[in-house]
Amino acid sequence: MTLATLAQVLQPAIKGGYAVPGLVCLGWEDMRAYVAAAEDEQAPIILQAGPGCRAHTPLPILGRMLRYLAEEASVPVVVHLDHGFTLDECRAGLDAGFSSVMVDGSKLPLQQNIDLTAAVAEMAHAAGASCEGEIGVVGYAGGAPSTGTDPDEAGRFARDTGIDAMAISIGNLHLQQTARNGLDHERLRAIEAMTTVPLVIHGGSGVPLAERARLAATSRIAKFNIGTELRMAFGKALREAVARDAARFDRIAILGETEPAVRTAARAVIRNLGAAGQGRVGTA
């Protein structure tokens, strides 16, 4: 059994100078491709079920699917609830078998965010799971704006909540289809000066590859969430599979042809973050 918690994979990443990818899941094909990629690269991974995934498939089903993959894998796999917005939502994730939950109180006033996140962290730890929180708002490409993380608030947030990982806003955005100009390194270093908790970048697809690799090796960023670029690989493979034979209608055959492309894309993410070879059981 190789089901892992967030703390179990991120603490070694901090010490080893690499980052673990948080891979955004939407269905069985991408979940399976991600685990295959992790086994190819002998790397730890984090399988993430965000709000979109949970809207498509009931949470208890997702918990069983993801835990099955984790328990059958030969590398450490974290089963992670991404962007839970309430205590009850995070409790439901833990009840469904998730080994890690991310509570997003980033839009709340600071003390309310601290109170909510601390309650979720206490609940997660009591269940033998991990907790990620968010301070500062990470916006969306073409949508809701960001609010950069205040370093002093980040230090207080990490100290008062007991979280295992902290998502920060330093120029990163969700749902970017192309890499932008990079992150605010001055703000990052100021945050690092205030806390030793592992840091998380949401919207990792928008960070240039060279910068991702450099930060994974030289900063306290131990987790990059990667979704958009993998969904783009899936979409391209799906369009090609359908176009090859317009008369085909068997969904298993068509969807199955997306897995090699997603697996290849996920392997590239793992290697870029320096996580290849870090997931041999007993090393994470």
What residues contact residue 55 under an 8 Å CB cut-off, 6+ apart? none
The neighbouring-strand residues paired with 135 are 168
Known catalytic residue at 82: yes
Catalytic residue among 30, 82, 104, 164: 82
Q: How far apart are CA 257 and CA 19, in angstroms?
A: 29
71 within 8 A of 64, measured Cβ to Cβ = no
> What is the distance of C-alpha 210 from the center of its chain?
19
Torsional class of 47: left (φ above 0), alpha (ψ -120 to 50), beta (otherwise): beta
Identity of residue 17: G
Gyration radius of the chain's alpha carbons = 18
β-strand pairing of 100-103 with 45-49:
unpaired
Q: How far apart are CA 266 and CA 191, in angstroms?
A: 29
Kindly give the residue spans of alpha helices, DSSP state H, lying in 59-184: 59-72, 87-95, 110-126, 151-161
Task: Show which residues are catalytic.
Answer: 82
